[in-house]
């Protein structure tokens, strides 16, 4: 009778060891993957004027990429970066190094803009024909365009409740902000942009989950996938 509990304890102990090892491997590979880039980004935060060669300019097109760059700034974090446990970054973060409400954001590609009634800092643009795959619909999501208190920095052309307004690439959308949803804990001033999958019913999927987004590298002509570019800050050649 005493052997079974002892064996059970042994298996439980082994299961715990396996779980710890798996978690350790996950953290090692995910944090190690982006640690060099993260270090560069934090160095730049201390002195944004220190690395002008890393700054991108709004309207820039890298090679023959379909999207133009949507704002001025440094690409700090890219698709599938992991900078906290359990997190997989769904797009790219572009930091201007300026104050809130100073750096303009423009549409990276033409499409139909929507701003839902409860969106303080966000717009999304429906692209009926994905330039990388004909007859596939995609959505381009832009956020953090509000100050820490949630006061919008989005163009007055797109008030809350805006639906399906056509905009050309280069259309002014708003300004970079630092809205996080928590006024006491704002993010750094930046734009987050991601390419979101359609749900097959004419709407966008949940942008917070990486499986619902596309690798933006080919859209911008830049190495924006952390699995392929583990340590450098992307810039146009």
What tens digit of pLDDT does each residue of 152-194 get? 999 999 999 999 999 999 999 999 999 999 999 999 999 999 9
The reported pLDDT for the residue numbered 35 is 79
What tens digit of pLDDT does each residue of 99-129 get? 999 999 999 999 999 999 999 999 999 999 9
The reported pLDDT for the residue numbered 34 is 63
Over residues 45-65, mean pLDDT: 95
- Contact assessment for residue 118 and residue 161, using Cβ atoms and an 8 Å cutoff: no
What tens digit of pLDDT does each residue of 88-104 get? 999 999 999 999 999 99
Domain 3-220 is found in CATH 2.70.70.10: yes
In this predicted structure, the answer to whether residue 15 has a pLDDT above a threshold of 60 is: no
Q: In whole numbers, what is the pLDDT of the chain averaged over residues?
A: 88
The reported pLDDT for the residue numbered 22 is 31
To 5 degrees, how large is the angle CA 80–CA 142–CA 119? 120
Q: Give which of 193, 227, 237 is closest to 37, Cα–Cα.
A: 227
Give the single-character DSSP code of 50. G
Q: How confident is the model at residue 5 (pLDDT cuts 50, 70, 90)?
A: low
In this predicted structure, the answer to whether residue 29 has a pLDDT above a threshold of 50 is: no
Q: How confident is the model at residue 12 (pLDDT cuts 50, 70, 90)?
A: very low
The reported pLDDT for the residue numbered 84 is 67
pLDDT greater at residue 35 or residue 181: 181
The reported pLDDT for the residue numbered 237 is 76
pLDDT greater at residue 61 or residue 17: 61
For the whole model, what pTM was predicted?
0.85
In this predicted structure, the answer to whether residue 136 has a pLDDT above a threshold of 60 is: yes
Over residues 185-207, mean pLDDT: 97
Tokens 């619902």 correspond to 212
List helix spans (H) across the chain: 3-46, 217-220
Q: Give which of 125, 169, 166, 129 is closest to 143, Cα–Cα.
A: 125
In this predicted structure, the answer to whether residue 32 has a pLDDT above a threshold of 50 is: no
Residues 6+ apart with CB under 8 A from 219: 65, 66, 67, 108, 109, 131, 132, 195
């Amino acid at each position: 009778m005493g052997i079974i509990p002892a064996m059970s304890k042994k298996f439980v102990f082994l299961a715990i060891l396996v779980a710890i090892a798996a978690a350790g491997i996950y953290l090692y590979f995910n944090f190690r993957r982006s640690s060099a880039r993260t270090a560069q980004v934090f160095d730049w935060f201390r002195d944004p004027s220190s690395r002008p060669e890393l700054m991108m300019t709004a309207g820039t097109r890298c090679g023959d990429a379909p999207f133009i760059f949507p704002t001025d700034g440094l690409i700090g974090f890219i698709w599938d970066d992991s900078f906290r446990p359990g997190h997989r970054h769904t797009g790219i973060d572009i930091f201007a190094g300026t104050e809130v409400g100073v750096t303009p954001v423009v549409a990276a590609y033409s499409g139909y803009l929507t701003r839902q009634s409860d969106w303080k800092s966000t717009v999304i643009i429906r692209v009926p024909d994905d330039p990388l795959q004909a007859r596939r619909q995609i959505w381009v999501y832009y956020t953090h365009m509000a100050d820490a208190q949630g006061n919008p920095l989005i163009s007055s052309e797109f008030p809350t409740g805006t639906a399906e307004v056509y905009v050309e690439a280069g259309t002014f959308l708003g300004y970079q902000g630092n809205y996080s949803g928590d006024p006491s804990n704002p993010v750094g001033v930046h734009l987050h942009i991601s390419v979101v999958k359609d749900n097959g019913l004419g709407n966008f999927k949940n942008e917070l989950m990486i499986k619902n987004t596309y690798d933006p590298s080919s859209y911008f002509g830049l190495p924006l996938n952390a699995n392929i570019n583990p340590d450098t800050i992307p810039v146009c050649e």
